[in-house]
Amino acid sequence: MKNGESKTSKRKKEHLELCLTDAVSFKNKTSGFEKYDFLHYAISEVDITKIKFETKFLNKKITYPFLISSMTGGIDASESINAKLSVAANELNIALGVGSQRQALENKSFHNTYKIIRQNAPGIPILGNIGAAQIAEMKSFKEVQYLVDLVEADAMVIHLNPGQELMQPEGDILQKGLLKNIRKLVKYLNVPVLVKEVGAGISKPVARRLLEAGVKGIDVAGAGGTSWTGVEILRNNGNNSHEFWDWGLPTSYCIKEVNHLKKKYKFVLIGSGGINSGIEAAKAFALGSDIVASAKVILQELDKNGAEGVVKLVNQWFDTIRKIMYLTGSSSLRELRKNKIIEKENLY
């Protein structure tokens, strides 16, 4: 390993290299969005030119309800990637999540890979990130507040990844006390706490327990995009025939189920996991998402065409969503969430 490179940094580097390929996609399981279709509204009177997407997220106004999901930090390449992503997010005026900040607690070698984000994007919502395994073992939460301050975050995200940790040769599989510590953390931090999965999904019962613990946002991060069990299986010299490669709940199912909890709890529902197009993003909104998020397709676009490519891609997605709203008679995303989508099996 290079000077200043910890085991965590080395692992992050391997993760990044794998995620720039399609080798870690789910094999037989999908996000489930292909099972839905929009209800065409032939007498639409919507003025497409007046459709706007501005919304408030973490007390900041954003142009699109879109989050560039947590990706990277803590390795040499991260500074360039995060610099470009933050430039794109700043131009689009959308939210941006940082990758796991665990490495930042180990040493200060790569702190600028995180700090560069706020430097380039002073006004957007930024989400910090730490793993559930680290939260479960903490006796004090000063380190988490330190991570919030490091990136000047508007919220801290705890990522749940038991499947990934289980398949990881050096994984942390002991998470006893996690919910108890989440309850304590939400009271301790000076910013809201959000929780996300990493590609295996969050079910309704799990979301309910998290909301009861005081969490203010759920990112379902369902199956259908990157298989993080798959990432670790490849790192452990396995292949995609492994029995746990496709582990997880489809994104569409998670969004639909967790959305039911809005009747009782006030929280932000973020839909992510295999959202790779404007049509899929629109379906995520129609199923109940307040915000949609994507990671791998954004990273791949950044790698090919830089920040300008990311800006163009996100604008194209929302142009597609605008057209879908027109064709479904929806003048707002709130209207798009009102029975504008149907399972295809019910059409025949």
CA distances from 27 to 160, 238, 244, 287 (A): 22, 14, 11, 24
CA distances from 199 to 30, 250, 271, 296 (A): 11, 9, 11, 11
pLDDT at 109: 74
pLDDT at 8: 62
Block means of pLDDT (10 residues each) for the chain, length 348 residues? 56 68 89 98 98 98 95 63 94 95 82 90 97 96 96 97 91 93 98 97 98 98 94 88 95 98 98 97 98 95 96 98 98 98 95
50: amino acid identity, one letter: K
pLDDT at 5: 56
And the tokens for 136? 């479960």
> If you write DSSP's letter for every residue of 156-171 in order, what string do you get?
EEEEE-HHHHHHSTT-
The number of CA neighbours under 13 Å toward the Cβ of 259 is 19
Q: Tell me whether strands 36-38 and 341-343 are parallel, antiparallel or unpaired.
A: antiparallel
pLDDT at 9: 60
In the beta sheet, which residues pair with residue 160? 197
pLDDT at 74: 46
* Dist CA 340 CA 338 (whole Å): 6
Q: What are phi and psi of 97, to 5 degrees?
A: -105, 140
Cα angle for residues 245, 250, 256 (degrees, 5° grid): 165
pLDDT at 116: 92
Is the Cβ–Cβ distance between 137 and 174 less than 8 Å? Answer: yes
pLDDT at 1: 45
- Which CATH superfamily, name and number, covers 7-28+54-245+264-319? Aldolase class I (3.20.20.70)
pTM score, whole prediction = 0.94
